[in-house]
Chain A
Amino acid sequence: MKYLLLIASDPTLPSPEPGDDSFDEYMAAWSQYEQELNDAGVNLGGEALQGAETATTVRHQDGTTTIADGPFAELKEHVGGYYLIDVDTLDDAIGWARKLPVGTGAVEVRPVFPTDEF
Chain B
Amino acid sequence: MRWKSAPCSLPTSSEGLTAITPDEALSRVAREEGGRLLALLTDRLGNIEIAHDSLQEAYTKAAATWADAGVPDDAAAWVYVVARNTGIDRLRRDTAAGRRLASQVRVLETAVAAEAADDAGDDGSGVEDARIDEQASVSDDHLRLLLLCCHPALSRDTQVTLTLRLAAGLTTQEIAAALLVPEATVQQRVVRAKRKIRAANIPLVIPADLHERAAVLTTVLGFIFNEGYVAHSADAGTLTRADLADQAIRLTATAADALPDEPELAGLLALQLFHRSREAARTDSSGELVRLADQDRTLWDRGMVARGFTVLAEALAQRQLGPWQVQALIAAEHTRASTNWDRILRYYDTLISMSPGPVPRLARAVAVAEVDGPQAALAAVDHIDGLEAYHLFHATRADLLEQLGRDTEARSAWERAAALCRNPTEAAYATRRARRIGP
Contact = CB atoms under 8 A, between A and B. Distances in A.
A90 B207 CA distance: 11
Given A90-B200, A111-B199, 4 more contacts: A90-B202, A91-B205, A95-B208, A111-B200
A109 B196 CA distance: 12
Interface string A28-57: 000000000000000000000000000000
Interface residues of B, number: 14
Contacts of B99: 116
B293 interface: no
A1 interface: yes
Interface in A77-118: 88-91, 94-95, 109, 111, 116-118
B405 interface: no
B210 to A, nearest CB: 11
Contacts of A116: 98-100
Contacts of A88: 201, 203
Contacts of B207: 91
B94 to A, nearest CB: 11
Nearest to A92: B203
Chain B contact residues: helix, strand, loop or mixed: loop
Interface residues of A, number: 12
14 contacts: A1-B201, A89-B201, A89-B203, A89-B205, A90-B153, A90-B200, A91-B205, A95-B208, A111-B199, A116-B99, A116-B100, A117-B96, A117-B97, A118-B98
Contacts of B202: 89-91
Interface in B127-185: 153
A94 B153 contact: yes
Contacts of A118: 98
A89 B96 CA distance: 21
B203 A91 contact: yes
Contacts of B100: 116-117
A42 B98 CA distance: 24
B98 A111 contact: no
A5 B303 CA distance: 52
A118 B98 CA distance: 8
A118 to B, nearest CB: 8
A109 B100 CA distance: 23
Contacts of B208: 91, 95
A14 B98 CA distance: 49
A118 B199 CA distance: 14
| Top-10 shortest CB links A-B | A89-B203, A111-B200, A90-B200, A90-B202, A1-B201, A89-B201, A90-B201, A91-B203, A116-B98, A111-B199
A106 to B, nearest CB: 14
Interface in B184-235: 199-203, 205, 207-208
Contacts of A111: 199-201
In the complex, which of the residues A1, A88, A90, A111 has the most CB atoms of chain B within 10 Å of its own CB atom? A90
